[in-house]
Chain A
């Protein structure tokens, strides 16, 4: 895999998206201009499928599966069709209303169903999809029912009507190029990194300031908008609507396009939709016309191709092409920047102060009467045997778990109600079990840490209004990687990292959020001796730069070598607090660790 071509562009990976989008548009344009009528219709159909499937790909990238995406196509199609035909609304306004209706439907369905976990979401969307097409059939007086809704007027602005099929095809593929390019660019922007983090681990995403529920809803609505756009254009192109093209089959076909093409990238959807159409055409020509076999043989062959391709490349056609496709990453900037905490703390101030906390799980007293504090420019170690309550203390300190008794003050105030506000308080953390996004590069994983400092959203991520912010983010990411001495691995996919390296990437990701207080959850687990020494010197450098650290760790040597104070827990109780030398000599501590 390492023999792959490697292109490092000065700007951003987005250039690749632009080129791909432009190429797709030019290719479609040539077919639209020169192909026979049959091809033009096919081109429009493939374009419309691509548009809706792209949205679905975005959903998949965010870790959600929808089996009812065609319902949003139906919403767009029927709303604009009925408005333009029966209510005399100008077609362009009807088109906008159709897209808006899909967005609204997406927001409502999303708000209701996105709290569903695991496989409940696909089941819920499946049900909504089937119910929607059943409702179209049942609501015949408005929708035309099973017999359909005909004579939809052409798309027009004033007296200028878009009646030419070829021009329509160009319009559709212009949208495919714009949104395909936009979504691909989005994936490597601030919001895109958050979407990928959301799929890997929502809790981790929240630590860095992502409002997971909101982002999930936004992604769902964007997918619904793209489906709606596809639906309204369908209505104005074919000028006839019936429930069949928006049923379960349509939803499943969209999903097939995404998976067959490759769900890692929006252009995978375009590739999938195109490949399916091409395959169908080939099958019709060979199986049906030349061999004279029935349509069922076509179905069987299509199924076999689908199965075989996915067995060979579970990542779809896109992943097969990726082997020869250059990879793009962001090069190291010339300038050097400082990565110090966002706000300097005043001396003597407690960043974290825990007093008298207790936690009961039912009848079990997990923690009792723990008090300690982390001051400015301090490294505090939290140690104790397994089951001593270290993790619970850690979670209470960050507000993930509410204590049964006692108070926690973070920067002098109660922990924020929402986890996603923690980073704004100047707190960041790493995780005991590494939580990085395996399919992204090391550099991108670190860059995600700067999420809370950024402002640019979905639109600027899609259309490139975030250049300055991105440049600054990547400059910081490079700096953070230099600090943990992993800049040599910046362009590697995070999935290839060894455990120790992955932990250091987590540290770099936390650093880039410029925390005043850094919480490290067993950072040395899985590190080799040399790496541990590096970690110790790193912690010292951080302290000098003004970051305080709370360290939960098993490795006694490491803790004793770098902390200012140690808090020892045993069986849920605070055993002692002191400087390393005191703790090392304390008989209670020795007893707790070695057993008496």
Chain B
């Protein structure tokens, strides 16, 4: 009994950590841009699949596409007639370095197949950049539209990314190796090293984001935009840059959770959506706007999921999802969200 219990506990915490990264992605994107991003789970898929192909030594097609997109926007930005000469050169340099980074990591990963961290880097560079592209293509032009329109646009993004994932990688699942094979036995309980890695990296990533948003100017700008868009704009905070940044962070974190989770469930084109949805639930528990409460939320979702799977498996999802209602009611009573965004 005790070993079953601790097995479920570890399983739940591992799931919780993955959902946590997802919830964090959703929260960062929602607070800064007001996009309830239905496409979030696709970055999980893309992260895992591009990691798999980088690891196998083939050039990651996603990196190429993303670099092309970045280049197109770079041309437009450099051609901006409001820019002075020095600013133009600065923009050109930054964009070139960025594009070079995405391509270089992808090339390096294909030159040294099997090098784990190089593949991670290539995958994250591609997906995070894809996030900024998504923002510039689909959010920036309609940033004033009502949130429900932004939501439906993100459904469109989901369709494109989902279809693209199948076109690039096909429908067959790919097995992905863990960071370190094997695991450790604590008495009767076996813990896969990958579970530990997932939890460790999730904690590191969340801590990193926290430090970033508290300690750096960029992070402060992100927070200010999240609190009050118009106010931030009036204070000279580049709201569009904050939007791009939030999408980069959101996409990167989701991709990270995807490539970490892949060894446990194999990477496939359909893995993203259910994980994205659970991330939604977790984020909802935190009211989508608060990091710490969302963490309690993700652990609750992870644990409930693995325990109810063991107890009454048929009603597992019913329980997980209905749990949201009382917690939302409670959150609404304690600290309601702003009623109007406009």
Contact = CB atoms under 8 A, between A and B. Distances in A.
Contact of A119 (B145, B147, B316, B329): B147
Interface stretch (B48-56, B97-105, B223-231, B276-284): B276-284
A260 interface: yes
A303 B163 contact: yes
Given A300-B160, A306-B159, A124 B167 contact: no
Secondary structure at the B interface, as helix, strand, loop or mixed, is helix
B155 interface: yes
Contacts of A213: none
A297 B166 CA distance: 9
B157 A314 contact: no
Interface string A100-140: 00000000000011011111101110111011001101101
Q: How large is the interface on A (under 10, 10 to 19, 20 to 34, 35 or more residues)?
A: 35 or more
Contact of B156 (A60, A126, A134, A303): A303
A112 B162 contact: no
A119 B156 contact: no
A260 B164 CA distance: 22
B243 to A, nearest CB: 15
A120 B36 contact: no
Given A118-B339, A137-B314, A256-B152, A124 B328 contact: yes
B267 interface: no
Contacts of B164: 296, 300
Contacts of B287: 120
Nearest to B331: A120
A536 interface: no
Contacts of B141: 311
Given A120-B332, A123-B284, A304-B160, A135 B142 contact: no
Contact of B280 (A116, A123, A299): A123
Interface stretch (B3-11, B246-254, B256-264, B317-325): B317-325
Contact of A130 (B30, B151, B156, B317): B317
B65 to A, nearest CB: 13
B318 A259 contact: no
Given A120-B332, A303-B159, A310-B152, A252 B142 contact: no
A414 to B, nearest CB: 27
A65 interface: yes
A118 B338 contact: yes
A134 B197 CA distance: 32
A46 to B, nearest CB: 19
A299 B159 contact: yes
Contact of B148 (A127, A131, A134, A255): A255
Contact of B145 (A131, A134, A314): A314
Contact of A123 (B158, B316, B324, B336): B324
Contacts of A304: 156, 160
A283 to B, nearest CB: 11
B337 A252 contact: no
Contacts of A252: 38, 155
A311 B159 contact: no
Interface string A317-351: 00000000000000000000000000000000000
Nearest to A145: B314
Give chain B's interface residue range (CB within 8 Å of chain A): 35 or more
Nearest to B336: A117
Interface in B119-151: 137-138, 141-142, 145-149, 151
A260 B151 CA distance: 12
Contacts of A135: 315, 318
A263 interface: yes
A413 interface: no
Given A296-B163, A303-B158, A310 B153 contact: yes
B328 A134 contact: no
A302 interface: yes
Contacts of A299: 159-160, 162-163
Contacts of B162: 296, 299
A248 interface: yes
A307 interface: yes
B321 A255 contact: no
A65 B152 contact: no
A203 to B, nearest CB: 10
A248 B328 CA distance: 19
B321 A306 contact: no
21 contacts: A65-B151, A113-B325, A113-B328, A117-B332, A117-B339, A119-B30, A120-B331, A120-B336, A124-B284, A124-B324, A127-B324, A131-B321, A134-B315, A134-B318, A138-B318, A296-B164, A298-B163, A303-B159, A304-B160, A307-B157, A310-B142
